[in-house]
Structure formats: structure tokens, C-alpha cells
């Protein structure tokens, strides 16, 4: 596959249109994966310089991208998760409008029993935390600290810690941290309690 260079907003929009047509015509999962790989190449090769167009294009494809992330097809899911990681790195704080679209999906993926999927999702979650440094991530993470899935609780607790390490806490979010500390200190699993210390 050739390297996609997004040298203008028009070329970026054209790439989104190609992927949108694939999705609309009911392409195979392999074709969808290749479309997502094309978008990742655009993201890695200058597409994120056009923040407004990139965010608008991603918003328009959020449902098929979330479906790909949740897919049982490992390659399709991996391509979509890699694309989200690439976007968070390329957009940085401009990724903020996309957090509500993808972050909950990534967190829920950590509740699966398949460690391949959970490992990918966890890596992407920590990439998003590091690259965006958004305080809004705390509310999503604290929501899952009491989930029945131990791996998800652990990711949520470690995610809160990672948020605190990359961005100083302000007083308006202190109550969320207090809830996490209280919840994790009483967890049945030692690794979750340790993460909450």
C-alpha cells in the first residue's frame, strides 16, 4: 500500500469519502480494515495538521469505527484501535471532541476475557491519556472503577493515576479522586487496591 500523504483538507476529505463508501456498500471486514489503515496512514502523514477536517471526518465515521473496535475480528479491531492511538498522538489536545465517542468503547473492551483485545485497548487508553492530557478523561475512568470486571477496574484505577501524573489536579475534580481512592481501597483484588494507593 502506498503511503497516504494528506497535503490538503481536500485530500483528507477524499480519504474519508473512500472509507465512507466502503462502509455504505457493506464491504467485507478485510476491505474495512484496509480503509482504516488508509486513514491511519493519513493521520501519520500530515492529516492531523487539518484538525477541523480530521475531527469532522472522524465524527462522521464514529459508529463504524466503534463497531470495528468492538469487532471479534482481531485484525479489524487492531486497525481501528491503532487508528485511535494515531489520532490521539497527532491531534493531542484537539482530540478532546472525540473522547466521548471512543474512550468509553475502549474502556468496555478491557472487560473482555480475550487478553489480546484488552492489551490493545489498554495501550490505546494510556496513549489517549498521555497525548490529550484532558481532565474530562477522569469522569470516564471513575465510572468504571466499580465495574464487575477486575481487569477493567484495574485499568480504570491505573488510568486515574496516569491522569494525575500528566496533568495536575484542580479542585473541581478532587471529589472524583476521593471516590476512586475510597472504592479501590476496599476492592477484593490486591492489584486493584495497590493501584488505588
Among the ranges given (52-56, 152-156, 175-179), the one the predictor scored with the smallest mean pLDDT: 175-179
Mean pLDDT of 42-48: 90
Write out the three cell numbers for 104: 468509553
pLDDT band at 1 (very low <50, low <70, confident <90, very high): very low
At residue 101, the pLDDT reads 96
- Residues with Cβ < 8 Å from 196, sequence gap 6 or more? 157, 180, 181, 183, 184, 185, 187
pLDDT at 173 over 90: no
pLDDT at 121 over 80: yes
pLDDT at 193 over 80: no
Write out the three cell numbers for 51: 484538525
Write out the three cell numbers for 112: 473482555
Mean pLDDT of 57-75: 93
In angstroms, the CA 119 to CA 103 distance is: 15
Q: Cell numbers 487539518 label which residue?
A: 50
- Which comes out higher in pLDDT, residue 182 or 38? 38
Write out the three cell numbers for 141: 475512568
Rg (CA), the chain: 17
> What pTM was estimated for this model as a whole?
0.83
Domain ranges of the chain: 7-102
pLDDT band at 26 (very low <50, low <70, confident <90, very high): confident
pLDDT at 76 over 70: yes
Residues making up the chain, counted from first to last: 197
Residue 141 CB neighbour total at 10 angstroms: 23
Instruction: Answer positive or negative: Cα dihedral of 127, 57, 99, 122.
Output: negative
Amino acid at each position: 500500500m502506498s503511503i497516504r500523504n494528506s497535503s490538503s483538507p481536500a485530500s483528507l476529505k477524499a480519504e474519508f469519502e473512500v472509507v465512507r463508501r466502503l462502509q455504505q456498500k457493506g464491504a467485507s471486514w478485510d476491505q474495512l480494515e484496509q480503509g482504516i489503515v488508509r486513514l491511519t496512514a493519513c493521520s501519520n502523514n500530515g492529516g492531523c495538521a487539518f484538525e477541523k477536517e480530521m475531527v469532522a471526518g472522524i465524527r462522521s465515521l464514529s459508529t463504524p469505527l466503534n463497531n470495528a473496535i468492538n469487532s471479534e475480528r482481531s485484525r479489524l479491531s487492531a486497525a481501528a484501535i491503532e487508528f485511535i492511538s494515531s489520532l490521539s498522538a497527532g491531534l493531542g489536545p484537539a482530540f478532546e471532541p472525540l473522547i466521548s465517542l471512543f474512550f468509553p468503547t475502549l474502556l468496555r473492551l478491557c472487560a473482555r476475557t480475550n487478553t489480546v483485545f484488552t492489551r490493545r485497548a489498554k495501550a490505546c487508553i494510556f496513549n489517549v491519556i498521555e497525548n490529550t492530557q484532558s481532565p474530562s478523561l477522569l469522569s470516564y475512568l471513575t465510572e468504571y472503577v466499580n465495574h464487575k470486571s477486575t481487569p477493567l477496574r484495574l485499568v480504570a484505577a491505573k488510568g486515574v493515576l496516569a491522569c494525575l501524573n500528566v496533568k495536575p489536579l484542580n479542585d473541581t475534580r478532587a471529589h472524583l479522586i476521593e471516590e476512586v481512592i475510597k472504592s479501590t481501597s476496599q476492592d477484593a483484588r490486591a492489584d486493584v487496591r495497590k493501584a488505588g494507593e
